Structure 1
């Protein structure tokens, strides 16, 4: 049975707190394990979450600020130590190549050849990824070069059992119909996929970290089933958001609403806010977005919403 869930490893911004570790997010998507922005403490948080280095198939860095990248050396060294056999692609902004090289070889260790660098560059969409999970990167608006990511499952089909029965399509013929788009029924008549199935949109997750409000953030989140987005500040600190290249909770809600996202996950919370302000993050985001909202906490497991029918 496939599992699609976001495992939250850390939810603080620049400074960790007793209840919020530095950033870290692990997306389990069927056979894929995508680690986003491994900040300090990622190895420990993964262990607490029951995750291992062998679960990681891809690492995505939005940018090279320390709270998003200083856990990378330990993560790579753990991949080497545990003798992970499969390739692990690492996507990062190409303009930060010097930081990638420093982090990749931060200390001596018995290296591994499974790490596959995959830098992204440019001002347009950068398509990446496997055939069953398309990954796209878009530049955001931060104080250093930063990219957001969109993971999308290709659209598929939902078979209609009553229509299959009506056309006499059973057993192996169902698989053949799905694969090639048509079959000849036992009585000889042609059956097209559209006769027995309805289009089913693929699931999509958007990951938008450090950025001021910008059109690219909305584009990444367009019709996403889940938008994971930074919400560093509350309204009272809105004057800090744009100069530092960050969002408020209200602005994060606005991005979700304008994009038509289905669910919203707020994270990257400034260390200035204690637990008694959590409700304010939810309320201010809800003033703009009327869908389900989660204020992420360390070690949360947040399932992707069911596929649209």
Structure 2
């Protein structure tokens, strides 16, 4: 099962209706918690997300609204008796901050620290790309392996059905029939997570082919000067990432408290998002994973 649970959508300052950041991705056997800001543990209770489901925690950077909830989450996992290993990924320049936060948590968790400082894979199916913010920051992409989709008409013409289909998939050939004769390449589904950044090459790489693209949308297009000053994205820029990457669904989040109606930001993003479906996230939203990005 693949599903994204939105735990918080505020940027620097939480509001009455928006908690600090927090995003939980259910990805088959993995449970990946991204950027747990202050209050994430309580938001998990409201969302029905068990701490025992977390297998990885990924920090884009160590600004407080993206990591101050870490000690509470780790302590809750100890309280709940989590025994499986938990992997914590973060930029290497945040080592001191991360270790300080971890030191505040209740001891007893099988926690593995994985700092990274360059682009590329950091775990099976997970890669990072550098972003452009006021401190070192990285975005994440989670990808399933590519596969093949069978073509029923070609299977029928080849006289292959039932258990033989599975055998052909496993062995790659059945008699004179090759797997590629009766199937087409199917790209693995992709999830991309982009937080605090200005437009940069890394953000475009992450967005490429994303079925579900989560990105900050801190400022309105009308406040582009502020976005440039603080190295954040406007709604329109978030939409441009989705269009360039031909993303299937764009989820906007990390909203400045200056905007009471984020529907306006979603409208701006739609103008530049191409064929992507645009969603302005709210706290506690549950978003099923799209089956395939739009072509």
Match of 2:129 in 1: 138
177, 200, 215: which one aligns with 1:191: 177
- What SS does structure 2 have at the residue aligned with 1:258? helix
- What SS does structure 2 have at the residue aligned with 1:15? coil
- The alpha-carbon deviation at position 279 of structure 1 amounts to 2.2
Correspondence 1:258 to 2:252: no
Match of 1:230 in 2: 216
Moved more, 158-167 or 38-47: 158-167
Q: 1:175-221: CA deviations, max 9, x gaps?
A: 2221231123xxxxx22101221211111011000001112111110
Correspondence 1:111 to 2:108: yes
- Maintained 8 Å contact 1:81/1:110: no
Q: 1:154-195: CA deviations, max 9, x gaps?
A: 1111123343343343444322221231123xxxxx221012
- What SS does structure 2 have at the residue aligned with 1:74? helix
- Maintained 8 Å contact 1:34/1:57: yes
Match of 1:58 in 2: 56
Q: 1:76-135: CA deviations, max 9, x gaps?
A: 11122212222211110011111111011115x24222x11111112xx220223xxx11
Match of 1:129 in 2: 123
- Maintained 8 Å contact 2:116/2:122: no
**Distance between the aligned counterparts of 1:85 and 1:173, measured in 2?**
41
Aligned length: 293
CA-based RMSD = 1.6
Correspondence 1:241 to 2:237: no
TM-score w.r.t. structure 2 length?
Answer: 0.95
Q: 1:231-282: CA deviations, max 9, x gaps?
A: 10112321111221111111111121122212211000001111xx222101
- Maintained 8 Å contact 1:137/1:148: yes
Q: 1:17-46: CA deviations, max 9, x gaps?
A: 010000000111222211100011111111
1:151-300 equivalence runs, <5 A: 151-184=142-175, 190-274=176-260, 277-290=261-274, 291-300=276-285
**Distance between the aligned counterparts of 2:122 and 2:107, measured in 1?**
29
- What SS does structure 2 have at the residue aligned with 1:105? helix
Q: Which runs of 5+ in 2 are unaligned?
A: none
- The alpha-carbon deviation at position 61 of structure 1 amounts to 0.3
Q: Which runs of 5+ in 1 are unaligned?
A: 185-189
- What SS does structure 2 have at the residue aligned with 1:286? helix
- What SS does structure 1 have at the residue aligned with 2:184? strand
**Distance between the aligned counterparts of 2:156 and 2:25, measured in 1?**
38
**Distance between the aligned counterparts of 2:270 and 2:152, measured in 1?**
40
- What SS does structure 1 have at the residue aligned with 2:259? coil
Match of 2:82 in 1: 84
- The alpha-carbon deviation at position 229 of structure 1 amounts to 0.3
